[in-house]
């Protein structure tokens, strides 16, 4: 609960910062997997992305508006205000994991994600849709529908897709914290490298 509250306060802090229309910005919009749950925020893959962009002299900055525990419904409800505030050039949309873990209807998740993709595009942003996969104990029908939702949506909306955020560490037990769900600080660089492969074409 404390970590979720801290994430919310961090987002409120970001939202209080002044933003100019001319600023080039990437918005990371996800859940605890992107919010840096259980590690220092500066160690999270979005923070590392900001460091890489700075080192490359791209002129792009990164705002991480991810909140631990966020579902696609929650993300959808607050996205318009976030887009208006930050005016991002690129949106990395990395929500859906909590919908899956809670067994929420895939159709509703897909509808929420689709609405967020459309809204980001209406605000002039390019979108990288980041997918997730569920463990097999959720059953083959649900896990297959869940996985396909990201692919179908990316194809329909013609946006870039990273099918599985945790792919490079999926089978590495040591890459996760004690809860078995959240990556360690040491694993964040691998996640960033994975995200970078799909993000790089959007930077041109």
Instruction: Exactly one of 32, 34, 44, 66 is catalytic; name it.
Output: 32
Does some domain include residue 51?
Answer: yes
pLDDT (0 to 100) of residue 15: 39
Does some domain include residue 17?
Answer: no
Does some domain include residue 37?
Answer: yes
- Cβ(22)–Cβ(88) under 8 Å? no
Angle at 168 between CA 190 and CA 94, to 5 degrees: 80
194 in active site: no
Distance, CA of 178 to chain centre: 22
Per-residue pLDDT reduced to its tens digit, 108-158: 999 999 999 999 999 999 999 999 999 999 999 999 999 999 999 999 999
Judge whether residue 88 has pLDDT over 50.
Answer: yes
Classify strands 61-64 and 25-30 as parallel, antiparallel or unpaired. Answer: parallel
Here the tokens at position 164 are 């599985």
In this structure, of 16-30, 92-106, 171-185, 186-200, the range with the lowest mean pLDDT score is: 16-30
182 in active site: yes
| Cross-strand pairs, 161 | 129
Q: What is the CATH number of the domain that holds 125?
A: 3.40.50.1110
Judge whether residue 10 has pLDDT over 50.
Answer: no
Does some domain include residue 62?
Answer: yes
Does some domain include residue 16?
Answer: no
Does some domain include residue 76?
Answer: yes
> Which residues neighbour 41 within 8 Å (Cβ) at sequence distance 6 or greater?
10, 35, 47, 64
Per-residue pLDDT reduced to its tens digit, 90-101: 999 999 999 999
Its sign, for the CA torsion 190, 93, 153, 158, is negative
- Give the count of domains, the chain: 1
Q: Provide the residue range defining the domain that includes 127.
A: 2-11+22-203
Instruction: Exactly one of 7, 66, 68, 182 is catalytic; name it.
Output: 182
């Amino acid at each position: 609960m404390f970590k979720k509250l801290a994430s919310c306060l961090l987002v409120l802090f970001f939202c209080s910062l002044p933003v100019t229309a001319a600023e080039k910005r990437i918005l990371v919009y996800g859940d605890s997997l992107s919010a840096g749950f259980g590690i220092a925020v500066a160690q999270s893959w979005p923070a590392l992305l900001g460091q890489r962009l700075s080192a490359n002299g791209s002129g792009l900055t990164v705002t991480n508006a991810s909140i631990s525990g966020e579902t696609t419904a929650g993300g959808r409800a607050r996205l318009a205000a976030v887009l208006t505030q930050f005016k991002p050039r690129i949106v990395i949309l990395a929500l859906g994991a909590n919908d899956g873990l809670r067994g929420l209807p895939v159709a509703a998740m897909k509808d929420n994600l689709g609405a967020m993709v459309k809204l980001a595009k209406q605000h002039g942003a390019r979108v990288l849709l980041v997918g997730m996969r569920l463990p097999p104990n959720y059953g083959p029908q649900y896990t297959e529908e869940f996985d396909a939702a990201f692919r179908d949506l990316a194809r329909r909306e013609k946006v870039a897709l990273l099918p599985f955020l945790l792919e490079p560490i999926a089978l590495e037990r040591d890459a996760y914290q004690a809860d078995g769900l959240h990556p360690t600080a040491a694993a964040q660089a691998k996640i960033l490298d994975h995200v970078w492969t799909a993000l790089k074409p959007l930077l041109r």
